[in-house]
Amino acid sequence: MTTVHDTVAAPASTPTPTPTPTPGALSVWPGSTTETRPGEVAVGGVALTEVADRFGTPVYVLDEAEVRDRCRTYRHAFPDAEILYAAKAFLCRAMAHWAEEEGLGLDVCSAGELELAVTTGFPADRIVLHGNAKSPRDLESALRLGVGRVVIDSPSEIARIAAAVGPDGHQKVMVRVVPGISAGGHEKIRTGTEDQKFGLSISDGYAQHAIARILDQPQLELTGLHCHLGSQITSVKPYLAAVRRLVGLMACLHRQHGITLPELDLGGGHGIAYRPGEPALDLTSLARKVRTELTEACTAAGLPVPRLIIEPGRAIAGPAGIALYHVLSVKHTGSHTYVAVDGGMSDNPRPALYGVRYAPRLIGRAGGAPAPVTVVGRHCEAGDILAADVELPEDIRPGDLLAVPVAGAYHLSMASGYNLVGRPPVAAVTDGHARLLVRRESLDDIRARDVGL
């Protein structure tokens, strides 16, 4: 790990370079990315070499303007919907502040995410709590702070929430249902199918039974249905199928119980490109087709159109982030060249978990001809591979700086303390300035948690 300079005062402002057309190799980078000279890349008007020098590596770099632009894109595409940023993708106080300023709500999965957001000043009534196994602390925090809705994921939560609210209390709830739709980029991130841990199935009647129980609890107000199909979905079709099935359930509930639910939450899971040329979900097409499908399905069922709720996380934070590493060693073994960096699966477990592929780039100098290499981490695991079989300059050497784009989601939020290397910091860049959002986890932090002998 390189020397940390987290406490160094910000350098004098540097002029933002004149933007140049983004070549194909930079197509998955933030929109503010410029190549000021061969090998020298700037994001948000700040050279990445400057960020690495100032904050050390590994370091996550987050383009604030890209985050805000993506929030606005969702607001524009879904003007009549409620947009909830899925905090599990990446959350810090600044991120909560940006989402609130851009008019988004929050979707949280724990008391930790909830309390960080609320203590930042985020309005609790614009926060939704969900999760398949909510702890007593999760529910206590949600009710104490006054979250807008709690998404019920299992029958046992109904009695728990009703008891915690009390006979004179009131809490808005939704029910997460399983529509029986397979969608997502990997089997481990498909959550709309039967026989997995999330939600209540429509097909076996568990969802309908739970809803009937909720309606018997006067202190619980059922506002709508919730579903989440999975992650990295690049086709609109699964969302349209979900609309049809959920509206069908809403019609059934109207016939059986005489209720008209005012909200329908389609979750998120919107796919993004991690490498140039990969597919991404067409947000404009999604918004247009979902709106049409929802209107037609409700008209056919004789129901008013409920307010739509959308929960993007990765699609907002992911493309706004870059991970920077320094090369520690270059090893030629048989037919392979291994480039080892000063990070790895402790700051990005996703390649090991889901086989995600990235497109790292040499930063700070113009390299030689491209050659196939595998970028690996520093940890004592054979599976600690950040980017397998990618092309980097043949003259790559220790001390070089590598950048991995599309690193804003599920990196820091899934980072671990493996080998006690400490989790990296997060620096925001915008308008030619870089500032620290989350400091590096230090050895002192690690020692402070170890309280016994």
* Helical ranges in 149-264 per DSSP H: 155-165, 206-215, 237-257
Distance CA 207, CA 48 (A): 50
Band of residue 184 on the pLDDT scale cut at 50, 70, 90: low
Mean pLDDT of 291-295: 97
Give the pLDDT confidence score for residue 304 in this predicted structure.
97
Active site residues: 380
Q: Give residue for tokens 């990196």.
A: 411
Residues in the chain: 453
Q: Give residue for tokens 């591979």.
A: 385
Give the pLDDT confidence score for residue 15 in this predicted structure.
40
Q: What is the CA radius of gyration of the chain?
A: 23
Share of residues in the chain with pLDDT > 70 (%)? 91
pLDDT for residue 111 is more than 50: yes
Mean pLDDT of 281-298: 97
pLDDT for residue 448 is more than 50: yes
pLDDT tens per residue, range 260-286: 999 999 999 999 999 999 999 999 999
Mean pLDDT of 79-104: 98
Indicate the pairing of strand 321-333 with strand 433-438.
unpaired
Band of residue 6 on the pLDDT scale cut at 50, 70, 90: very low
pLDDT tens per residue, range 144-167: 999 999 999 999 999 999 999 998
Give the pLDDT confidence score for residue 17 in this predicted structure.
38
Point out the least confidently predicted range of 155-164, 202-211, 435-444: 202-211
Angle between helices 237-257 and 283-301 (to 10 degrees): 30
User: DSSP class of residue 431?
Assistant: T
Distance CA 386, CA 424 (A): 16
Q: Please give the structure tokens belonging to residue 301.
A: 């069922």
Task: Spell out the residues 6+ positions from residue 117 whose beta carbon is closer than 8 angstroms to its own.
Answer: 87, 91, 96, 106, 108, 127
Q: Is the dihedral of CA 388, 390, 396, 399 positive or negative?
A: negative
Query: Do the first three CATH levels of 24-63+321-449 and 65-317 match, i.e. the same topology?
Result: no
Domain coordinates in residue numbering, the chain? 24-63+321-449, 65-317
pTM: 0.91
pLDDT tens per residue, range 345-392: 999 999 988 888 999 999 999 999 999 999 999 999 989 999 999 999
User: Beta partners for 324?
Assistant: 59, 403
Distance CA 243, CA 295 (A): 10
Give the pLDDT confidence score for residue 297 in this predicted structure.
97
Give the pLDDT confidence score for residue 335 in this predicted structure.
86
Give the pLDDT confidence score for residue 195 in this predicted structure.
65
pLDDT for residue 197 is more than 70: no
Distance CA 294, CA 223 (A): 17
Q: Please tell me the number of Cα atoms within 13 Å of 110 on its side-chain side.
A: 8
Report helix, strand or coil for 129: strand
Question: Does CATH number 3.40.50.720 belong to domain 65-317?
Answer: no
Distance CA 174, CA 239 (A): 19
Question: What fold does the segment set 24-63+321-449 form as a domain?
Answer: Lyase, Ornithine Decarboxylase; Chain A, domain 1 (2.40.37)
pLDDT tens per residue, range 15-63: 433 344 344 678 999 999 999 899 999 999 999 999 999 999 999 999 9
Distance CA 163, CA 333 (A): 62
Give the pLDDT confidence score for residue 439 in this predicted structure.
98
Distance CA 130, CA 175 (A): 10
Band of residue 180 on the pLDDT scale cut at 50, 70, 90: confident
